[in-house]
Structure 1
Amino acid sequence: MLKEYRNILVINLMHLGDLMLVTPVLRTLRANYPQARITLLADKKLRDLVEYNPHLDECLLLDKKGEDNHPLAFCKFIMKVRARHYDLVINLHRNERASALAAFSGGGQIVGYAKPGFSLLFDGVMANEHFIKHQVEAHFDVLRKFLGVEKIDDAGLEMTIPEAAQHKADRLWQETFTQEAKVVAFNIGASWLTKRWIKEYFAQCADRLIKRGYHVAFFGGPMDIDLVESCIDDMKERESDHLKVFTGKVSLGVLAGLLRRCCLFLTTDSGPMHVGVAMNVPIVTMFGSSPVTGFYPYDGKDVLVKTPEACHPCRIHECPKEGAEHMACMKNIPVETVMEYVDELLEKFGGAPAYKLPLHPGDYKCRVIDLGNGIAPS
């Protein structure tokens, strides 16, 4: 018999991808506590991802880089949290700011991941096991261990696009592409340099697709603009009218609205990759420094190409190797291999837009192509 909770706070203050990986927990909490008020505390800049999530009653937003980014403001924010008298607080990322907010939240029960020190004020602390299981499954373990939850309602990653953002995406698509256009999305940036496949390789893929009649659309945030421009400079088809650039020009909501119309997403391990999963677009991704087990695209139709390098997964943000060995993890994922799986998925799904593809509930383990041993583990 589950203990009754009436006022639940879930905390995740990390990046785009981390927040997307929390969404299955929100659905499961709603399934187990249908009468509870469920609030998500997240970074204000990511509000488009979660503000209209149907399993939430409220989003509490912290302006991490703005008005809440100094000690006095942060203390005031903690007091705002305490005033809401949550009887359950679940922290789903082990960073200092989230750990502090959970620890001093005044929650009746506080569980989840925590930094040492702050963990002393938690009722239950979980080690994050994303090296041996997917992050989504690790989050479910928090609910199982500390709340006794047995009913896991997993519909994969979810995002409800704000209506205004969807209208803007639809209008932008109609202004940019013909009705019959088959569009392959590219995301070449990532928060770590070691998560980025080689930009010249992306350029070669884009050239091949354009020559075959596909349209290529580059996405990414403002921080990716220079990288995308440099990649396009390496393209032979850079003057083609089948090449479009949305990098730094659209909100997260509009990004999602555009991705759902694409027929494939070629991407790094990044936040947009997880948005693509939620939009049901077939994905081909390349993993160098990231642990595959914890962060693979959570969708059975997707393909992940894993580096053959023995240093995987280093989880180092910048490659310490020099010369020819610098970024060897990504250099040794060949264009020919990646394009083999791009072609396979394009053929399998017929170039249909993602929103027309069927869902497959429960099938969330992507195919991993392990170049280190030449086999594709199940």
Structure 2
Amino acid sequence: MTEGAKKILVIGPSWVGDMVMAQSLFITLRRRESGCRIDVLAPAWSFPLLDRMPEVSKAIEMPLTHGQFAVQARIRLGKQLRNERYDQVIVLPNSWKSALIPFFADIPVRTGYLGELRWGLLNDARRLDKKKLTMTVQRFVALALPADAPQPPECPVPSLAIDSDRQQAVRDKFNLNDKAPILALCPGAEYGPAKRWPAEHYAELAQCKLAQGWSVWLFGSGKDQAVAARINQLSGDACRDFSGQTSLAEAVDLMSLVDVVVSNDSGLMHVAAALDKKLIALYGSSDPGFTPPLNSRAKVVDLRLDCSPCFARECPLGHTDCLTQITPAQVLAEIG
């Protein structure tokens, strides 16, 4: 950090995709405040992402889980951060409790959206104009700019830094020697089944690419192991299934090795975009206008049915046509 440069704390989000999009904010801060230090208070699981963002100086563990109130613990953590002498904090979550820590850290400029009536806790409280800031990333980046800056702001593209030694480490650990092009499939979506393309469609896609000589890798968390196993079974157990077998850090480094990614609207979709991969992003109940993959190489497949986006976890109509009617042939055509 340049001597005398600004020291900024960011209270980070609690979702993989949002943390990836937050890099656009970090890039904007660095462009505006040359030499500034950016620390991020965030869940420990997000550290592998923050470690791959060169704009971030330090990640600080948020010891409280998403949704945990714990007022006294937040006050104690705020007081512990006083010695850091931050010049500004930017609070990305909109909850009242998320603004407690910077308030008790005595950070002089506390920026964020008004959210849950946070007057006083924030002294640079912004009113969110959802008509002007239609995308999550725009809302993040706008907080790096003065309140009267033109909206929507220009949003830099997230770009996760990949280290060749880490790539070799995952090659060695998982004994990878694939010479064929690699298709990555990300069949999970934390939010719910209304965001998940059917396993049978993923399997048909996998079978087509396997027949063409491709390798197919399956990605996901432990929660996605059942659907990944189903896809692999339907594909003759010819895919490499990494679901539940990797850390987030390893998943990022593995994905950096693939050629094409097909994904539901999920955190891994945003990771693929930030790795500048050719990406086919499948949208059902969610809105690609709100949380699109931030990558010019990404192709969004969205049927734009009258009933979507509904933003529901499960299809209110019971059919999930917005996803089931996206055919494997359509996705194959996008892969090219």
TM-score norm. by structure 2 comes to 0.88
2:249 matched to 1:246? no
Indicate the residue corresponding to 1:307 in structure 2: 303
Contact 1:218 1:245 in 2 (8 A): yes
Residue-by-residue CA offset, 1:290-321 (whole Å, 9 max, x unaligned)? 12112111111110011332122211222222
Deviation at 1:76, TM superposition (A): 2.1
2:75 matched to 1:79? no
Residue-by-residue CA offset, 1:31-57 (whole Å, 9 max, x unaligned)? 221233321111111100003532222
Gaps of 5+ in 1: 345-378
Indicate the residue corresponding to 2:101 in structure 1: 101
* Stretch deviating more after TM superposition (306-315 or 182-191): 306-315
Residues in 2 aligned to 1:56 and 1:209: alpha-carbon distance in whole angstroms: 38
- The one of 246, 261, 264 aligned to 2:260: 264
Residues in 2 aligned to 1:204 and 1:128: alpha-carbon distance in whole angstroms: 43
Indicate the residue corresponding to 2:171 in structure 1: 170
The 5 A counterparts of 1:113-262 are: 113-122=113-122, 123-127=124-128, 129=130, 133-146=134-147, 155-161=156-162, 165-172=166-173, 175-178=175-178, 180-193=179-192, 194-233=194-233, 235=234, 237-240=235-238, 243-262=239-258
Contact 1:5 1:88 in 2 (8 A): no
2:327 matched to 1:334? yes
Indicate the residue corresponding to 2:313 in structure 1: 317
Root mean square deviation of aligned Cα? 2.7
Contact 1:39 1:58 in 2 (8 A): yes
The one-letter amino acid paired with 2:303 is T
Residue-by-residue CA offset, 1:186-208 (whole Å, 9 max, x unaligned)? 10000122111111111111111
Change (3 A) 1:308 1:154: closer
Residue-by-residue CA offset, 1:88-145 (whole Å, 9 max, x unaligned)? 1111232444343345442211112343232442222241638963322232222233
Indicate the residue corresponding to 1:7 in structure 2: 7
Residues in 2 aligned to 1:10 and 1:339: alpha-carbon distance in whole angstroms: 40
Specify the SS of the correspondent of 1:294. Answer: coil
* Stretch deviating more after TM superposition (290-299 or 130-139): 130-139
Contact 1:186 1:218 in 2 (8 A): yes
* Stretch deviating more after TM superposition (43-52 or 107-116): 107-116
Would you say how many aligned residue pairs link Structure 1 and Structure 2? 329
Deviation at 1:271, TM superposition (A): 0.7
The one-letter amino acid paired with 2:182 is V
Indicate the residue corresponding to 1:110 in structure 2: 110
Residue-by-residue CA offset, 1:245-272 (whole Å, 9 max, x unaligned)? 1111112221121111111001011111
Percent of pairs identical after alignment?
Answer: 22
- The one of 246, 271, 281 aligned to 1:285: 281
Specify the SS of the correspondent of 2:145. Answer: helix
Residue-by-residue CA offset, 1:165-190 (whole Å, 9 max, x unaligned)? 434223246x2333x22110010000
TM-score norm. by structure 1 comes to 0.79
Change (3 A) 1:100 1:77: same
The one-letter amino acid paired with 1:44 is A
The one-letter amino acid paired with 1:199 is A
Gaps of 5+ in 2: none
Change (3 A) 1:52 1:217: closer
Change (3 A) 1:169 1:155: farther
Residues in 2 aligned to 1:166 and 1:73: alpha-carbon distance in whole angstroms: 38
Change (3 A) 1:10 1:144: same
